[in-house]
Structure 1
Amino acid sequence: MAAPPDPSVSPAPSAPPAPLVSPAPPVSPEAAGGLVAVAQVTCTADKEHNWRQCSALVRRAAAAGARLVFLPEAFDFIGDSAQHSLALAEPLHGDTVRRYRRLARECDVWLSLGGFHERGEDWDSTGRIYNCHLLLDSSGALVAAYRKLHLFDAALPGAPALSESSFTNPGRELLPPIDTPVGKVRSPAVPECPRVSPSVPKCPQ
């Protein structure tokens, strides 16, 4: 006959059940190719207000370890009309791009800026602008400037007609993919959406 259990001895705790799926080991940003930040802002016709929003997000992303930060189309401003957009547009050597080049250098981060309202070299003869996607490296150098080929014109029932081509020149060429710390970045196409490979999912087709 078995002896009764000694109440002064606590039973050994049972081991916890093994997990069904082992957690994946953490992947460092270096092993993954670097972190990418995608910022979304509500831009207005106030360029200084937009700069404060965007630069704060870039600094926040860089502090979190991002190697490349994407800012959206019209990050510089949203004009109230086509004529207003033409009046606010700047060349690539203007104050807005100069500030972002300095920001990239200060934060040691690459910047994808798309699209910038650019007064191109033909501004004096055409009076029209380009919708220009800019890529800056972490030294602040302008690595690529892609001028949008497929302009957005739409006339929907019950909505104002939109005609980007009425005041914007189309670009003339696609650019080859650019090597960045997080992979290759290629020019936007249709849909107009920057793409990074291989560590970041592509935008929906």
Structure 2
Amino acid sequence: AVGQITSTASLSHNLEQCVRLIAKAAAGGAKVLFLPEASDYIASSPQESLSLAQPQSKSPFVLGLQEAAKAHSVAISVGIHVPTDVPAEIADAAAAKDAKLLNRLLWINADGTINHAATYDKLHLFNLGAARESATIQAGTSLTAPFHTPVGRVGGLICFDLRFPEPALALTHPGPNSPFVDPAVGPAQILLYPSAFTIPTGQAHWETLLRARAIETQSWVFAAAQVGAHHPKRSSYGHSLVIDPWGQ
């Protein structure tokens, strides 16, 4: 199942939306629910975003999803924010001023445990005009190798990564001795693009880019999207899609 939500700055409200979708997915017989980028929250300012982020192991949003996954026996792919690690000896006001977050794709197993080996931190950040994701987000450092799931071998990417074909090809068609694919698992059959596209870029490019990635890699593409108004200054395009290797 592919879920579409409207995240706000309220983690509890966003968790409620996701838990409802988990129950609905389970009732429909789904084994996995794919949720959008930034499902935990979308803030109205960089400062608010930094203040809302919590360590993954203590986040009530993540813990709530783990409980729901176990209760309904449904695995979950979900986008969250995670503070970068700051050593205690420099965790002072100066360090706080430079603090950043990771834009993370997390996999929660159907028993409620987290598959840490499947964790992916967004590589390509959205810096266009006044929108500067890099103001609060630290880019990830590597792709994450595809992994087994109840629906096939999955390779995770996030939103703006969609505009770059190279990561998709690296996960689905690795070269000899590729560091991005575990030989014991094999290449990805499904590419994930949880997203929060703006309305103008979504109208212009969203479906075209998703279909292109599916066709060129001959893979399935699952794209769970944020939709609607998160706050007065930001809205997302929506139009969550599942696309087959033929581009349909």
Please confirm whether the aligned pair reaches a TM-score higher than 0.5, indicating the same fold: yes
- What is the CA deviation profile of residues 32-71 of structure 1, one whole-angstrom value per residue up to 9, with x for unaligned ones? xxxxx00101111111111111110111111110011011
In 2, Cα distance between equivalents of 1:73 and 1:177: 18
Runs of 4+, deviation exceeding 6 Å: none
1:58 match: 22
Which shifted more, 105-114 or 186-195?
186-195
- What is the CA deviation profile of residues 141-170 of structure 1, one whole-angstrom value per residue up to 9, with x for unaligned ones? 111211111111111xxxxx1001111111
1:145 aligned to 98, 103, 119, which one? 119
Structure 1 residues 105-184: aligned runs within 5 Å? 105-114=70-79, 116-122=80-86, 124=91, 125=95, 126-143=98-115, 144-155=118-129, 161-184=130-153
Opposite residue 138 of structure 1, the aligned amino acid is: A
- What is the CA deviation profile of residues 2-42 of structure 1, one whole-angstrom value per residue up to 9, with x for unaligned ones? xxxxxxxxxxxxxxxxxxxxxxxxxxxxxxxxxxx001011
The answer as to whether partners of 2:12 and 2:61 remain within 8 angstroms in 1 is: no
The answer as to whether partners of 1:82 and 1:167 remain within 8 angstroms in 2 is: yes
Structure number with higher helix proportion: 2
2:155 match: 186
1:72 aligned to 36, 42, 46, which one? 36
Structure 1 residues without counterparts, runs of 5 or longer: 1-36, 156-160
The answer as to whether partners of 1:183 and 1:198 remain within 8 angstroms in 2 is: no
2:201 match: none
In 2, Cα distance between equivalents of 1:97 and 1:175: 20
In 2, Cα distance between equivalents of 1:102 and 1:71: 16
Which shifted more, 192-201 or 50-59?
192-201
Q: Could you tell me the TM-score, scaled by structure 1's length?
A: 0.72
Higher relative contact order (CA 8 A, sep 6+): 2
Alignment length, in residue pairs?
A: 162
Seen in structure 2, the aligned counterparts of structure 1 residues 175 and 41 have a Cα distance that, compared at 3 Å, is same
Opposite residue 105 of structure 1, the aligned amino acid is: K
1:102 match: 67
**Deviation (angstroms), 1:181:** 0.6
Structure of larger gyration radius: 1
**Deviation (angstroms), 1:122:** 3.1
**Deviation (angstroms), 1:185:** 1.1
Q: Could you tell me the TM-score, scaled by structure 2's length?
A: 0.60
In 1, Cα distance between equivalents of 2:76 and 2:133: 25
Percent identity at matched positions?
36
